[in-house]
Structure 1
Amino acid sequence: MILKKYKIIQPEIIICLVIVLSTFAIYWQVKDYDFVSFDDKLYIIENSYVKNGLTPESIFWAFSFEDKDKTYWIPLTWLSYMLDYELYGLNPGKYHLTNLFIHIINSLLLFYVFRKMTGEIWKSAFIAAIFAVHPLNVESVAWIAQRKNVLSTFFWMLTTLFYINYAEKPSVLKYISVFFCMLAGLMAKPMLVTLPCVFVLLDYWPLKRLVIFKKVENREYSSKNNFPKQLFYYLILEKIPLLMLSFASVSIFWSSLEYYDNIISKDAIPVKLRLANAAVSYLSYIKKMIWPSNLSVFYTYPDYIPSWKALSAFFILLIITFAAFYRIKKNPYLITGWLWYMGTLFSVSGITQNGLWPEMADRWAYVPLVGIYIIIAWECPRVLKNYAFRKKILYTGSCIILAAFMVCTYFQAKHWTNTFTLFKNAVNIDPDNWVAHNSLGVFLAEHGKIDDAILHFSRSLQINPSYAFTYNNLGTALAEKGRFDKASEQFLMALKLDPDYTEPYYNLGLIYTEKGDTEQAVKYFFKVLNIDPEHKKTYNKLMLLIKKMSASDKLKYYSRLLNIMPDSYEINNYTGVLLAQQGKADKAVKYFIKALNLKPGYEQAHINLGNTFARLKDLNKAVIHFSKALQINPGNGTTYYRLGTSYAQKGDIETAVKYFKQALQINPDNAHINNDMGRAFMILGKNEDAAEYFKRALEIKPDFIKAAENLDRISSISESK
């Protein structure tokens, strides 16, 4: 009995080991790969929340819609990046390996899921093996930004496994595990929205929970269905909570895109062209699955698809679908595999689009092509069932195909070494790939090869003259060469195409700053902040310019800034300082208090309120605010000095001396503190001590007239005695 069990388990263990070792063999190289500029920067390198690690603030951000420009709601993916950062910092090789480990687990789960559903070891092994090593999956594995793809697929497979357990013996607890596992997958990427429909397919085959045809003696299926109808309705009914989860995910997905206006309008790409491209792409993925050549990180969207090509694609898809339904009785795996492919690919078919949408993308076929693998794994043995050497043909053919794919995948993965190799390959495949030219230009510019970058940006614009980002990139490169007038033309072209694009405004501001035209520079910086008040680098540049202006101009621009960002504690504080300097203390106090309301622990606002109340002779309030400032920062010697001065003005000289001493412990070489300490000792009648502090003040600042006068007064008093 033990031996028999061992023999059953042994091939499964061998298969799993082969899958793991084969996948490692072709992908282990990724440990030495770099981040690429295409989304990796956005997701990790330039993402302050990810680089904070797993903090409460970062976790809250991951689940919110806030501050996610050009991305959508994928909280679990963000958390995985944060965990990577906690473990590896910004070591790109480790992020790559995390993707690889998840992909390997996905492959093993895929094997186990189909083995458990069908009882077929070798057919399930073929599906898992081809999934593990197929070149089309390189993009999902070797692209760090596609963590969402491999992670969501992990939950897809795990949810399916839980569903199989539920199907064997339904229970509420098992259903809950399915529900929450699917929820986790949707939080990694909304690709799982079609999973409830896939479960209906699996109910029909291979789980055989959904019986449409009754099997009779000749192994055919009759048209009569004596399967209890309430069971059919039950199978649909049990999917409703999962479908509601899918609808909720779709709603959240579109809401997150609309939040940043990241949806391509129907006018930009006509629906007719989208439908045509979707039909053609369905066949293109199958073609690339069979012959995976010329794989690129980005396939540019076509400007036109001939009607004959689109209609032919629609017609072929209809024929295949009809054939699958026609064979539904004898070969039920055909309908399951084909509808798996068609259905799961639909959500990324491009009928609705967001962001920079390509013609097709290798990563989108990661899960859908499993449907085609199902068809191949079961149909090929059926076709060859009457051949004498059927097993040898199948095993040999499978090994040759998998070996060929492994070699292809190994070399395809090398293109992901860094940004340059990735987009150089894309340009080699398609010299008119304007996205690749633009990305190459960005890489070259970052590495100081400005002239080469300009050539690629110019080529990109020749191919596609309607992309605002490339005009901005070209302008930035020209500005680096000192060609400011030409650069300005490019920035203005970018703004003509996209008036809400902030970077060209910012870059124009930099150019006018370089030219010394402060008025124009300020004008463009304000345009940026009107669109995006959180644009930090623009705010910082603008503040540097304002600080060099006259008081009246400062007040004017601070007022404009407060109209844009009324909740800026810094601007409220700066405005208060200006008003205080102009003698408008009462108005200044209001701005300082508002700054404190916006940021209760704002030390400088407390200090400024203390100074202002001291000028107003409201010394009690001055003492309160200087004391609060010291609670926030006990190491500020100047605040101790201000507090001591306030007590001295109140007539509490002994307390003043206490704070002057603390101020001198921090700033012993401050002539003014030494002088005021001397004056305090004079008032207390300790003239010898006073004289020492006046002398110290004069040693620090020999031309300090007040200290000299105070020392003379001490000397006169001593002589008169």
Structure 2
Amino acid sequence: MIDRIDRDGSISRGTYLFVVVSLVLLNLLIFVQTASHGFIILDDNDYVRNNPHVLSGLTLRNVSWAFTSFYASNWHPLTWLSHMADGQLAGPSAGWPHLHNLLLHTLSTVLLFRLLERSTGALFRSAAVAALFAVHPMHVESVAWVAERKDVLSAFFLVLTLLAYRGYAARPVLHRYLATLCCFALGLMAKPMLVTLPFLMMLFDCWPLRRIRPFAGKPGQPKELPEVSLARALWEKVPFIILSAASSALTLAAQREAAMMSLEKLPVSVRLGNAVVSYLRYLEKTFWPVKLTIFYPLSLSGMEPWRYAAAGMVLALVTVAVVVFARRAPYLPFGWFWFVGTLVPVIGLVQVGGQAMADRYSYTPHIGLFVMVVWLAGDLRGKLRLSRKNGGLLFGCAVAVLAALSFMRAAQFRDAGTLFSEAVRVDNRNYLAYTMLGISRQEAGNCQAALAAFREAAQLNPDYLEARFGAATALEQMGRKGEAMAELRSLLAAHPEYTKARLSLASDLAGSGLVDEAIAQLDAALERDPRSAVAHHNLAVAFEMKGDSGQAIYHYGKAIVLDPGYVECYGNLGDLQLARGNRAAAVESYTKALKLDPGYLPARQSLQTILSH
């Protein structure tokens, strides 16, 4: 297979190895710098930094949580397991998680080259597509951001699934089919965006595999594959479609409560308009990847109707063109429909979050565009009689430019301050960037600058509650507790459902000696969210301050039932049991806390004191 002649020319085993090594070095050149980078707050806190399930590693309890939790509005157990493996190996360090992302991206790059080369016989074109996948600046977000492990992990299984499917198409036996199905299931457990993969398999059947009878026997097929009817090809995809439907249902359940926007807040017309405009913006940034940012704010009011109409017209014209040229250039509809189809789950028809689009969403859809560009360029080179050497030189220059842009983009992910300062520079109306910049400044102890950033964010988007909450926490850190409490009261008057602010206000009230008012706020929080372990824990602390140990023990127990991994709750319950003279119960609570987190110092010190007496 490696030594055959392809239409790009004669190749050798050494050439093949050279391509693979070059692809690996390209990735290392751009991304090895991330090994010294830190976390960037946004999502990294939920996914790693403040996630005890991840930091405590691959325990039976944590594995169970990964498969049963809708934490962070997602169901992707394999992604959680990969983060837990990092926690097991490296603890809270960011270095290894970054290298893990780099490893997965590099493997996906090499496997993508292998997939295309085996399916088309065009070694150099396949290498070119893989190189573009490796170095494109829009892919930096997926690789250099720890929380986007789900991107690189799911892409790895996407390519692996198609490789397994290609093997099944060459020799359709049961164990190869089951291997393909298994790879797909793992990919869905990494990120549900892979629900469109059965559609991609049908595209592969048409081109480059050409195994469906209407397309079989045409030029471009590297070796004879068993032909199948269209009905048989569709029937083969039924188990894959069932898995996609199940994954979609789980994802909707996970995101419905916390992250999904209602039709009242974002009408269908705005969703459709944003979708067609975003397709064009993805195309624009693919060919001109400048002014990239981690967040592109969505306009809830939409834009002028003519912009939607113009964008829709362009998309329709491109679609018609690729269909018209399908017979002469079958890679055009393959690449275009890959791009359009794989973006459907994240294009905003079901809107999750406040972004209009995201660089990371282009990670696997770009494969289709790169196939279109590379194969078209290769055909045009022949028609223009451009030598292979000159064509290769032009392509090498393009890759070098993209690699340089990616290197600089990856450097911006060094820390939150650098990343979000750049985001604000690119778009000074980016309210999320200002909020994250405020949090990073707050963590650095620069509360005055943090407050200014939070105020700017709140002014840009008064409905973004995190900005106003951030301002309250900055005021509290500056010792302006009265102003902080006034900010929280104002926030809750307008948005009584914002439990996070209510919990913070209750904590401030308890700290100021207003325990009864704190209890009232916590009761209100539990009315809106009865399953809040934090609210039960804080209510227990408040009752303990009031001297009602019975109620305190009850609410500590409720918090532990709701969150069995709540280390601090076990520690505080142990302190209360010890104060009541119940040494055995205190020892049990401290032991459970240390079992969950062996580094939890308060429980360790208290347990040592008990045992020494």
Tell whether the structures are fold-level matches, with TM greater than 0.5: yes
Counterpart of 1:452?
449
d(CA) in 2 for partners of 1:475, 1:110 = 48
Sequence identity (%): 32
d(CA) in 2 for partners of 1:280, 1:352 = 16
Matched, 1:501 2:498: yes
AA aligned to 2:201 is F
2:578–2:586 contact (8 Å) kept in structure 1: no
1:163–1:178 contact (8 Å) kept in structure 2: yes
Shift of 1:341: 0.5
Residue of 91, 114, 117 corresponding to 2:119: 117
Matched, 1:339 2:343: no
TM-score using structure 2 length: 0.87
Counterpart of 1:296?
293
Matched, 1:21 2:25: yes
Q: Deviations over 1:117-161 (max 9, x none)?
A: 000011001000010011110000000000000000000010000
Counterpart of 1:209?
211
Shift of 1:496: 4.1
493-502 or 105-114, larger mean C-alpha shift: 493-502
d(CA) in 1 for partners of 2:146, 2:129 = 25
Counterpart of 1:135?
137
AA aligned to 1:59 is V
Q: Deviations over 1:655-678 (max 9, x none)?
A: xxxxxxxxxx9899xxxxxxxxxx
Shift of 1:548: 4.2
What secondary structure does 2:403 align onto? helix
Counterpart of 1:241?
239
Shift of 1:509: 1.6
- From the superposition, tell whether residues 527 and 561 of structure 1 become closer, same or farther in structure 2 (CA, over 3 Å): farther
AA aligned to 1:246 is S
5+ residue gaps in structure 2? 221-225, 565-573, 592-609
What secondary structure does 1:415 align onto? helix
What secondary structure does 1:455 align onto? helix
Aligned pairs for 1:56-71 within 5 A: 56-65=60-69, 68=71, 70-71=72-73
Shift of 1:565: 7.3
AA aligned to 1:256 is A
AA aligned to 1:335 is P
Residue of 487, 498, 501 corresponding to 1:490: 487
Shift of 1:479: 2.1
- From the superposition, tell whether residues 493 and 2 of structure 1 become closer, same or farther in structure 2 (CA, over 3 Å): closer
1:63–1:73 contact (8 Å) kept in structure 2: yes
Q: Deviations over 1:68-107 (max 9, x none)?
A: 1x33111001000111111111110111011001100000
d(CA) in 2 for partners of 1:108, 1:445 = 41
d(CA) in 2 for partners of 1:169, 1:35 = 46
d(CA) in 1 for partners of 2:235, 2:575 = 61
TM-score using structure 1 length: 0.74
Matched, 1:48 2:47: no
2:544–2:552 contact (8 Å) kept in structure 1: no
Shift of 1:545: 3.6
Q: Deviations over 1:578-597 (max 9, x none)?
A: xxxxxxxxxxxxxxxxxxxx
Q: Deviations over 1:169-201 (max 9, x none)?
A: 111111100101100000000121111111111
1:530–1:564 contact (8 Å) kept in structure 2: no
2:210–2:216 contact (8 Å) kept in structure 1: no
d(CA) in 2 for partners of 1:21, 1:460 = 41
Counterpart of 1:198?
200
AA aligned to 2:422 is N
d(CA) in 2 for partners of 1:517, 1:82 = 41
d(CA) in 1 for partners of 2:496, 2:63 = 33
Residue of 400, 403, 422 corresponding to 1:403: 400
2:212–2:228 contact (8 Å) kept in structure 1: no
Matched, 1:36 2:40: yes
Matched, 1:387 2:384: yes
What secondary structure does 2:479 align onto? coil
1:427–1:436 contact (8 Å) kept in structure 2: yes
Aligned pairs for 1:111-190 within 5 A: 111-190=113-192
Residue of 6, 9, 12 corresponding to 1:8: 12
- From the superposition, tell whether residues 397 and 55 of structure 1 become closer, same or farther in structure 2 (CA, over 3 Å): same
Shift of 1:486: 2.9
d(CA) in 2 for partners of 1:666, 1:345 = 59
d(CA) in 2 for partners of 1:3, 1:147 = 35
5+ residue gaps in structure 1? 221-227, 571-601, 612-625, 636-664, 669-721
What secondary structure does 1:359 align onto? strand
d(CA) in 2 for partners of 1:308, 1:569 = 51
AA aligned to 1:389 is L
- Give me the CA root mean square deviation: 3.4
1:149–1:363 contact (8 Å) kept in structure 2: yes
Matched, 1:319 2:321: no
d(CA) in 2 for partners of 1:470, 1:394 = 51
d(CA) in 1 for partners of 2:481, 2:585 = 47
AA aligned to 2:248 is V
AA aligned to 2:151 is N
What secondary structure does 1:388 align onto? coil
d(CA) in 2 for partners of 1:407, 1:568 = 49
- From the superposition, tell whether residues 667 and 283 of structure 1 become closer, same or farther in structure 2 (CA, over 3 Å): closer
Residue of 349, 361, 365 corresponding to 1:364: 361
Shift of 1:440: 0.7
Counterpart of 2:525?
528
d(CA) in 2 for partners of 1:444, 1:364 = 28
- From the superposition, tell whether residues 666 and 157 of structure 1 become closer, same or farther in structure 2 (CA, over 3 Å): closer
Counterpart of 1:656?
none
d(CA) in 1 for partners of 2:490, 2:344 = 36
Counterpart of 1:698?
none
2:2–2:13 contact (8 Å) kept in structure 1: no
Structure showing greater Rg: 1
Residue of 440, 445, 449 corresponding to 1:443: 440
How many residue pairs align between the two structures?
Answer: 576
What secondary structure does 2:505 align onto? helix
Shift of 1:3: 9.5
Residue of 460, 473, 477 corresponding to 1:476: 473
Counterpart of 2:248?
250
- From the superposition, tell whether residues 536 and 429 of structure 1 become closer, same or farther in structure 2 (CA, over 3 Å): same
- From the superposition, tell whether residues 305 and 237 of structure 1 become closer, same or farther in structure 2 (CA, over 3 Å): same
Shift of 1:563: 12
- From the superposition, tell whether residues 332 and 160 of structure 1 become closer, same or farther in structure 2 (CA, over 3 Å): same
What secondary structure does 1:328 align onto? coil
What secondary structure does 1:10 align onto? helix
2:506–2:522 contact (8 Å) kept in structure 1: yes
1:533–1:565 contact (8 Å) kept in structure 2: no
d(CA) in 2 for partners of 1:341, 1:160 = 16
d(CA) in 2 for partners of 1:323, 1:568 = 56
AA aligned to 1:293 is V
d(CA) in 2 for partners of 1:415, 1:116 = 37
Counterpart of 1:80?
82
1:127–1:370 contact (8 Å) kept in structure 2: yes
Shift of 1:333: 0.8
d(CA) in 2 for partners of 1:607, 1:291 = 66
2:39–2:415 contact (8 Å) kept in structure 1: yes
d(CA) in 2 for partners of 1:607, 1:506 = 26
Shift of 1:309: 1.2
